[in-house]
Amino acid sequence: MPGLIECVPNFSEGRRLEVIEEIVRAIGQIDGVSVLDHSSDSTHNRSVVTFAGAAEPVVRAATAGVGRALELIDMEEHQGAHPRIGAVDVIPFVPLGGTTLEECVDLARRFGELIAQRFELPVYLYGAAALRPERTRLADIRRGQYEAIRDEIGTVPERFPDFGPHRTHPRGGAVAVGARKPLIAFNINLATDDVAIARRIATTIRESSGGMPAVQAMGVLLERPGGRDLAQVSMNLVDWERTGIAAVVREVRRMARDAGTDIDHCELIGLAPTGALLEVAADTLGLRDFTADQALELRLARDR
């Protein structure tokens, strides 16, 4: 599977499903890309599309998605709970298989320049692709959202885009283009409905409060109609090669037991890199010298 790249554009439309279908179709009709998933949220009025392929088809498909979104979504009319800066709010490129993050950084910058020119759309580079350190975090780019950027992009130097015109696109606003490692959305449900325990564990393990590297976590109550509610440690593992699933589970189990409870079960939301799951198997079995190459289909996919 040489040079595979995942792309996860977020679009500012989560209610008009026919619009989402049109955008997904524009992406999926490009030869050489697979649309892996798409989901829409009406509260956030936002949709996420996940697709993958080699670099060139992925660029063509992302370009097609941007083009269609700029035709179909008008930021002057968009409202939703999730912060956003444009019709296509954010486009991250993610390395899969043998692809490196650096390749995705290069691709994001090349793609950013391309769509800025093609669509006269201001582009901010973020994440590993950021050209300015203050644009690494999406939240910093999004401050004040679409409306603030529209009003300030022509006059406030901090708002000047990395590529494209110093004015927002008349319908589409602006876009953040970046590169990041694959993210694993992973929840651990505790055998208790005491959400305070989940919150305490989340606070202890998350990187932002000095916990485990590359872990984002919060404690929530998982309501289960007809069953007992469960306290949940809800996590994003943003770099599983630094902190993987097995390490997080071990730590959460230890703290849960200290608090007089235990792990009930875990949940994997959406897709995860196969390597992150194989690591759990290798850890459980105490396999030494295990490599993902011992997984037959992965090995084959790599060779093809």
86-100 burial: b if 16+ Cβ within 10 Å, else e: bbbbbbbbbbbbebe
> If binding is defined by CB under 8 A, does position 301 make contact with a copy of itself?
yes
Compute how many residues bind a copy of itself; rule: CB under 8 A. 43
- Judged by CB under 8 A, does residue 30 bind a copy of itself? no
> Binding a copy of itself by CB under 8 A: which of 1, 148, 221, 259?
1
The whole-angstrom separation of Cα 244 and Cα 184 is: 9
145 burial level (CB within 10 Å; 0-12, 13-18, 19+): middle
- Nearer Cβ to a copy of itself, position 221 or 266? 266
The yes or no reply on residue 256 touching a copy of itself (CB under 8 A) is: no
- Give yes or no for residue 295 binding a copy of itself (CB under 8 A): yes
Positions marked active-site: 82
294 binds a copy of itself (CB under 8 A): yes
Q: How many residues does the chain have?
A: 304
Is residue 286 close enough to count as binding a copy of itself by CB under 8 A? yes
Q: How far is the CB of 191 from a copy of itself (least distance, A)?
A: 11
Please report, as a single letter, which amino acid is at residue 247: A
The single residue among 20, 245, 255, 256 that binds a copy of itself, judged by CB under 8 A, is: 245
The alpha carbon of residue 3 and the mean position of all alpha carbons in its chain are separated, in whole angstroms, by: 19
Q: Does 225 bind a copy of itself (CB under 8 A)?
A: no
Structure letter (DSSP) for residue 2:
T
For 160, phi and psi rounded to 5 degrees?
-60, 135
* Least spacing, CB of residue 278 vs a copy of itself, in Å: 5
Residue 303 binds a copy of itself, judged by CB under 8 A: yes
Q: Which of 20, 52, 66, 201 binds a copy of itself (CB under 8 A)?
A: 52
The verdict on 29 binding a copy of itself (CB under 8 A) reads no
Which alpha helices (H) appear in 43-166, and where do they start and end? 55-72, 101-119, 138-141, 145-152
The separation between CA 137 and the C-alpha centre of its own chain, rounded to angstroms, equals 13
Q: Report residue 250: phi and psi, to 5°.
A: -60, -45
Contact yes or no for 169/119 (Cβ under 8 A): yes
Q: Choose the binding region for a copy of itself from 115-123, 127-135, 228-236, 284-292 (rule: CB under 8 A).
A: 284-292
Please provide residue 209's backbone torsions phi and psi, each rounded to the nearest 5 degrees.
-110, 30
Report if residue 96 touches a copy of itself, rule: CB under 8 A: yes
With binding defined as CB under 8 A, does residue 224 bind a copy of itself?
no
- Residues in contact with a copy of itself by CB under 8 A are 1, 4, 6, 34, 36, 52, 96-97, 182, 245, 249, 263-268, 270-274, 277-278, 280-282, 284-288, 290, 294-301, 303-304
